[in-house]
A = this chain, B = another copy of it.
Amino acid sequence: MNELASTGKVKVGFIGLGVMGKSMARNLMKAGYDLYVYSRTKSKSEDLLQEGAIWKEGAADVARHADVTITMVEYPSDVENIFLGPSGIVAAAKPGSYLIDMTTSSPALAARIYEESRKKGLQSLDAPVSGGDIGARDGKLSIMVGGDEEAFEAVLPVFQAMGTNIVYQGAAGAGQHTKMCNQIAIAANMMGVSEALVYAERSGLNPARVLKSIETGAAGSWSLSNLAPRIIQGNYEPGFYVKHMIKDLGIALQSAEAMGLEAYGLSLAKTLYEKLAAAGEESSGTQALVKIYR
């Protein structure tokens, strides 16, 4: 870990201890890092504190002490506030330290944070993930990284404590752009999976038997194999929340529009997910999209 390693034991700060964040933070402790934590709701940190994490009163206080500060929060507005707000971590961070946003957030914001960080002599990376709660727990996330390649290499061991498929994607924002590609592919496919299942129901087929015919061929997908069975069982528990999908698709659509890309499927999927949320399903799993068609 180059420079970082030569400074002795590396201190990692972690801001945002939701389902994903807490598992990621725990894996960092397991890998031997000193861990400083802060989360909006302190109660979420209790087990981590018992396991040895150190609580700090606010994001800025975490960044003041850490060599590497990681954020895993909810919305781009949270990211903007934590990084660039009046008590933000860019202003407070330990000189020469690394700031890594792992929230799925706006590529444009990632680029702004990178610029502001650089002015302060800080390194910033955008590094959103995929793999869900199970990937986070097992340290098997896919991590998509944007920023300076040297910074990426310096903090690679930190990423390796949380993920297995860790890919440097390019300049600041490239991690977020890659995650948008991921969400675009997922959302359009979820329409197809939903429509195929409702078509099967309406035409009197046995949907589980239909899956047996189609899931191993050209229609096959992670969602068809993993979410379609949940739909068939009537299980709409969130693996990934509808409200977060709407957030992500909103970012993707905004970015696509800025690039002059008319993303018809993305746009349609966003509309349908918004309709679903308006019907009270915003905290259901994304597979609840099927309800739009019933």
A200: min CB distance to chain B, Å = 5
Is the pair B192, A214 in contact by a Cβ cutoff of 8 Å?
no
Is the pair B221, A189 in contact by a Cβ cutoff of 8 Å?
yes
A182 to B203 Cα, complex, angstroms: 14
Chain B residue with Cβ nearest A260: B202
Is the pair A199, B263 in contact by a Cβ cutoff of 8 Å?
yes
Interface size of A as a range? 35 or more
A185 to B206 Cα, complex, angstroms: 16
From B174, B209, B210, B222, A205 is in contact (CB under 8 Å) with B174
A222 to B293 Cα, complex, angstroms: 24
Is the pair A213, B265 in contact by a Cβ cutoff of 8 Å?
no
A259 to B195 Cα, complex, angstroms: 12
Is the pair B255, A199 in contact by a Cβ cutoff of 8 Å?
yes
Judge whether A137 is part of the interface by a CB distance below 8 angstroms. no
One complex includes copies of this chain to the number of 2
Judge whether A235 is part of the interface by a CB distance below 8 angstroms. no
A213 to B210 Cα, complex, angstroms: 30
A154: min CB distance to chain B, Å = 20
Using a CB-CB cutoff of 8 Å, which residues 184-240 of chain A contact chain B? 184-189, 191-200, 202-206, 209-210, 212-214, 216-224, 226, 240
From B177, B205, B221, B222, A203 is in contact (CB under 8 Å) with B177
Whether A222 contacts B218 in the complex (CB less than 8 A), given A170-B206, A293-B261, comes out as: yes
Is the pair A167, B212 in contact by a Cβ cutoff of 8 Å?
yes
From B107, B222, B266, A195 is in contact (CB under 8 Å) with B266
Is the pair A209, B264 in contact by a Cβ cutoff of 8 Å?
no
For residue A169, which residues in chain B have a CB less than 8 angstroms away from its CB? 205-206, 209-210, 213
A258 to B282 Cα, complex, angstroms: 31
For residue A218, which residues in chain B have a CB less than 8 angstroms away from its CB? 130-132, 182, 186, 222-223, 226, 240
A238 to B180 Cα, complex, angstroms: 28
Whether A259 contacts B199 in the complex (CB less than 8 A), given A142-B216, A165-B216, A181-B205, comes out as: yes
A sample of 13 inter-chain contacts (CB < 8 A) reads A142-B214, A169-B210, A181-B197, A181-B219, A182-B214, A188-B188, A188-B193, A192-B266, A195-B266, A218-B226, A219-B222, A221-B222, A264-B268
